[in-house]
Structure 1
Amino acid sequence: MDKDALAASAQRHALPWVIVGLVAILALGGGVAWYFLREKPIAVSVALVEQARAANATMDTGPVLNASGYVVARRISTPSSKITAQVKAVFVEEGMSVKEGDVLAVLDDTTPRRQLALAESQVIAARKGVNEFDVRLKEARRTLERNASLYEQKLISESALDASRADVNALEAKLSLTRSQVEVALRSVDVAAQGVDDTTIRAPFSGVVVSKDAQPGEMISPISAGGGFTRTGICTLVDMDSLEIEVDVNEAFINRVVADQRVEATLDAYPDWRIPAHVISIVPTADRQKATVKVRIGFDAKDTRILPDMGIQVQFMDAPKLEGATAQTGPGAPIVSIQAVTNIHGQDYVYVVKDETVERRAIRLGPVLGGRAQILAGLQPGETIVIKPPAELTDGAKITINPDTGKQ
Structure 2
Amino acid sequence: MKQPPETDIRKTLGIGATRSRARRRRWIIGAGVALLLLIAAVTIWRMKADRNALTYITRPATRGDLVVTVTATGNLAATNEVMVGSELSGIIKTVEVDYNDPVEKGQPLARLDDIKFRAAVMKSRAALASARARLEEAGATRVETEKRLARYRKTRAMTGGKLPSVEELETAEAALARAVAAVGVARAAIDEADAQRVEDEANLARTIIYSPVNGIVLNRDVDPGQTVAASLQAPVLFTLAEDLRRMELQVDVDEADVGQVKEGQSAEFTVDAYPDLTFRAGITQLRFGAQDTDGVVTYTAIMNVDNPDLLLRPGMTATADITVERRTDALLVPNAALHFTPPQPKTSQRRGLMGAILPRPPHSRKPRAGSDETPDARQVWVLKDGRPVPVPVTVDATDGSLTAVTGGALNAGQALVVDAVGEAS
Q: TM-score by structure 2 length?
A: 0.57
The 1-side partners of 2:87 and 2:307 are apart by 37
1:175 & 1:136 partners in 2: Cα distance? 9
User: 1:168 and 1:88, CA in 2 relative to 1: closer, same or farther beyond 3 A?
Assistant: same
The answer to whether the aligner puts 1:310 opposite 2:316 as a matched pair is: yes
Provide the residue aligned with 2:171 in structure 1. Answer: 163
C-alpha contact 1:147 1:161 (8 A) present in aligned 2: yes
Instruction: Tell me if 1:276 matches 2:284.
Output: no
Match of 2:90 among 85, 93, 117: 85
Kindly indicate whether residue 130 of structure 2 is the aligned counterpart of residue 125 of structure 1: yes
Cα distance in 2, alignment partners of residues 169 and 321 from structure 1:
92
Structure 1 Cα separation of the partners of residues 143 and 102 of structure 2: 63
Q: 2:66·2:327 contact (CA, 8 Å) conserved in 1? A: no
Q: Deviations over 1:130-152 (max 9, x none)?
A: 11121122122111122112222
Q: Quote the residue 2:377 is aligned against.
A: none
Q: Distance in 2 between matches of 1:60 and 1:236?
A: 45
1:83-110 CA distances to partner (integer Å, 9 max, x unpaired)? 1111111111001011122111111111
Superposed CA deviations along residues 323-345 of structure 1, whole A, max 9, x for unmatched, are xxxxxxxxxxxxxxxxxxxxxxx
Change (3 A) 1:321 1:61: closer
Provide the C-alpha distance between the structure 2 equivalents of 1:287 and 1:258, rounded to a whole number of angstroms.
Answer: 18
Where structure 1 has 5 or more consecutive residues not aligned to the other structure, the ranges are 1-58, 226-230, 323-408
Choose from 227, 230, 235 the match for 1:222: 230
Determine the structure 2 residue equivalent to 1:243: 247
In structure 2, runs of 5+ residues without a counterpart are 1-63, 329-425
Shift of 1:301: 5.3
Contact 2:247 2:306 in 1 (8 A): no
Give the whole-Å Cα distance in 1 for the aligned partners of 2:102 and 2:229.
Answer: 24
Aligned-partner Cα distance in 1 for 2:65–2:138: 86
Contact conserved, 1:86 with 1:218, CA < 8 A, in 2?
Answer: yes
AA in 2 matched with 1:162: E
**Within-5 A mapping of 1:172-251:** 172-222=180-230, 232-239=235-242, 240-251=244-255
* Alpha-carbon distance in 2 for matches of 1:301, 1:216: 34
The corresponding residue for 1:377 is: none
Q: Is 1:251–1:291's contact at 8 Å kept on the other side of the alignment?
A: yes
* CA distance in 2: counterparts of 1:301 and 1:212, whole angstroms: 23
* Whole-angstrom CA distance in 2 between matches of 1:321 and 1:122: 79
SS of the equivalent of 1:291 reads: strand
How far apart are the structure 2 equivalents of 1:266 and 1:304? 15
- Match runs of 1:2-401 below 5 Å: 61-152=66-157, 153=159, 154-222=162-230, 232-239=235-242, 240-289=244-293, 290-300=296-306, 302-320=308-326
1: CA distance, partners of 2:262 / 2:321: 13
Identity of matched residues, %: 24
Amino acid in structure 2 at the alignment position of 1:235: F
8 A Cα contact 1:91 1:105, kept in partner: yes
Following superposition, the deviation at residue 158 of structure 1 comes to 1.7
**What is the CA deviation profile of residues 34-88 of structure 1, one whole-angstrom value per residue up to 9, with x for unaligned ones?**
xxxxxxxxxxxxxxxxxxxxxxxxx974352222221112422221111111111
**Shift in Å at residue 233 of structure 1?**
2.2
Distance 1:191 1:82, change over 3 A: same
Q: Is the 8 A contact 1:223 1:232 kept in 2?
A: no
In the TM superposition, what is the alpha-carbon distance from 1:176 to its structure 2 partner? Answer: 1.3
The one-character-per-residue Cα deviations of 1:269-311 (angstroms, maximum 9, x if unpaired) are: 1111111211122111222332222211222554311100112
1:190, distance to aligned residue in structure 2 (A) = 0.9
How far off its partner does 1:223 sit? Answer: 5.3
SS at 2:277 equivalent: coil
- CA change 1:60–1:107 in 2 (3 A) is farther
Q: Letter of the 1:190 partner, please give it.
A: V
Q: How many equivalent pairs are there?
A: 259
**Distance across 1 between alignment mates of 2:177 and 2:232:** 54
The change in CA–CA distance for 1:60 and 1:67 in structure 2 (over 3 A counts) is farther
Q: Distance in 2 between matches of 1:89 and 1:195?
A: 17
Give the superposition deviation at 1:169: 1.2
Q: C-alpha distance in 1, partners of 2:320/2:163?
A: 105
Q: Secondary structure at the match of 1:257?
A: coil
AA of the residue aligned to 2:84:
P
Q: Identify if the C-alpha distance between structure 1 residues 62 and 302 changes in structure 2 by more than 3 Å, giving closer, same or farther.
A: farther
Kept in 2, the 8 Å contact 1:283–1:294? The answer is: yes
Structure-2 separation of matches of 1:312 and 1:95:
22
Q: How far apart are 1:224 and its partner, in Å?
A: 6.9
- Which amino acid in structure 2 is aligned with residue 206 of structure 1? N
Q: Which residue of 2 aligns with 1:353?
A: none
Preserved contact between residue 84 and residue 220 of structure 1 (Cα < 8 Å):
yes
Amino acid in structure 1 at the alignment position of 2:117? P
CA-to-aligned-CA distance 1:168-190 (integer Å, 9 cap, x gap): 11111111111111111111111
Task: Indicate if the aligned counterparts of 1:64 and 1:256 stay in contact, CA closer than 8 A.
Answer: no
Distance 1:232 1:162 in 2: 62
- Scaled by the length of structure 1, the TM-score of the pair is 0.60
